[in-house]
Amino acid sequence: MIRVLGIETSCDETAASVVTFDSGASEIRSNVVLSQIAEHAAFGGVVPEIAARAHVEALDGIVEAALADAGTDLSEIDAVAATAGPGLVGGLIVGLMTAKAIAAAAGKPLLAINHLEGHALTARLTDGLEFPYLLLLVSGGHTQIVRVAGVGDYQRWATTVDDALGEAFDKTAKMLGLPYPGGPNVEKAAEKGDAARFTFPRPMKGAAQPDFSFSGLKTAVRQAASAIAPLTDRDVADICASFQAAVADALQDRVRRALERFRAEFPDMKAPALVVAGGVAANRTIKATLEALCRDAGFRFVAPPLKLCTDNAAMIAWAGIERLRAGLADTDDDAFAFVPRSRWPLDGVSTPVVGSGRRGAKA
């Protein structure tokens, strides 16, 4: 039996979790997530300094709650896994330093985990998925397609050259006067809207590379909105519906290319799988579009439960378990010397995409 305490503080969720693995079966013994949405709402986005302070105040209690919920204590924990990047550096410092202190005091190994690896491996915790598979990560800070071939074996096939998709939803909401976080509110407004009223660009559609771009779409939304201002509720609904349709269409084109490439690399796989992760995966239009795409392409569509798709510490504990089992755990010297990394590409080799200087706060 392996029992790992996970800690996640890379953005605006303070989270801790205990996950176990025993003779082939994994179990989430506790999963405590404290969202800071209320603290940031007035600013229309995550404020790094507020986030770091909120993590400092909450983390001890959240770790205690995760241990108590799991009916365990530090003496029974085999290792402490903490997000060490990418993300907002203030929060990362809080989480990693706390994990170092706990691990040192309890005499346990420490694992410095890449947050993206947590997202990438979640489907193995929830669905027992075998390698290899394709991951679409669509969150407030990342829009990536990653080929996941093993623990530590990741290849980024696509990323955004400008805004992350969640960021595009959040900025669109802000322009239209909808509250933060924007994604769910844009989706809600879109339900009553006419998706055919505005024809927004489908960024990158048809491009040979599977990369994403959303800033042109955002500009088109701004121009359409200012051309008809002041906006009625009907206008807002129509813009949201048209925006969402453009996003779904662009995403479908981009992901289709990746599915084709995956097929070409693994022609003998009977049931290849596409996994979605990240908060935007909650969007029903986007989910339905991807489901249909997978059905047509003969792919399994795997969407882990939303609370494990959005930021949480169970995925960090699980990545720790995967690393321990694969013999890829950090040595004590490396782990305790690890300095949080605000940028930390999952595959370590992907070259930066031209123009990708502006990433959102979230991962």
Q: State which of residues 132, 184, 201, 216 lies at the interface with ligand KG4 (CB under 6 A).
A: 184
Show the binding pattern over residues 344-363: x = contacts Zn ion (CB under 5 A), - = does not.
Answer: -------------------x
Residue 16's H or E segment, with its range, is strand 13-22
- Report the C-alpha gap between 181 and 231 in whole angstroms: 20
Secondary structure class of 260 (helix, strand, coil): helix
- Which residue stretch of 49-57, 177-185, 255-263, 335-343 sits at the interface with ligand KG4 (rule: CB under 6 A)? 177-185
- Which residue stretch of 14-22, 99-107, 135-143, 347-355 sits at the interface with ligand KG4 (rule: CB under 6 A)? 135-143
Could you say whether residue 237 binds Zn ion (CB under 5 A)?
A: no
Show the binding pattern over residues 1-20: x = contacts ligand KG4 (CB under 6 A), - = does not.
Answer: ----------x---------
- Ranges within 298-357 binding ligand KG4 (CB under 6 A): 310-311
Q: Which is nearer to Zn ion, 242 or 310 (CB)?
A: 310
- Ranges within 208-227 binding ligand KG4 (CB under 6 A): none
Q: Write the DSSP string, 75-99.
A: GG-SEEEEEEESS-HHHHHHHHHHH
Q: Which is nearer to Zn ion, 311 or 322 (CB)?
A: 311
Could you say whether residue 362 binds ligand KG4 (CB under 6 A)?
A: yes
- Which residue stretch of 47-55, 139-147, 190-198, 335-343 sits at the interface with ligand KG4 (rule: CB under 6 A)? 139-147
Could you say whether residue 187 binds ligand KG4 (CB under 6 A)?
A: yes
103 contacts: CB under 8 Å, gap ≥ 6: 79, 80, 109, 110, 335, 336
Q: Which of 71, 43, 39 is nearest to 58 (CA)?
A: 39
Q: State which of residues 12, 13, 167, 311 lies at the interface with Zn ion (CB under 5 A).
A: 311
- Report the C-alpha gap between 145 and 274 in whole angstroms: 10
Q: Which is nearer to ligand KG4, 6 or 141 (CB)?
A: 141
Secondary structure class of 292 (helix, strand, coil): helix
Q: Which of 323, 359, 357 is nearest to 84 (CA)?
A: 323
Q: Which is nearer to ligand KG4, 224 or 361 (CB)?
A: 361
Q: Which of 287, 204, 282, 196 is nearest to 245 (CA)?
A: 196
- Report the C-alpha gap between 262 and 297 in whole angstroms: 11
- Report the C-alpha gap between 357 and 61 in whole angstroms: 36
Min dist. Cβ of residue 287 to Zn ion (A)? 18
The single-letter code of the amino acid at 140 is G
Where along the sequence are the contacts to ligand KG4 (CB under 6 A)? 11, 139-141, 166, 169-170, 181-184, 187, 278-280, 282-283, 310-311, 362-363
Where along the sequence are the contacts to Zn ion (CB under 5 A)? 139, 311, 363
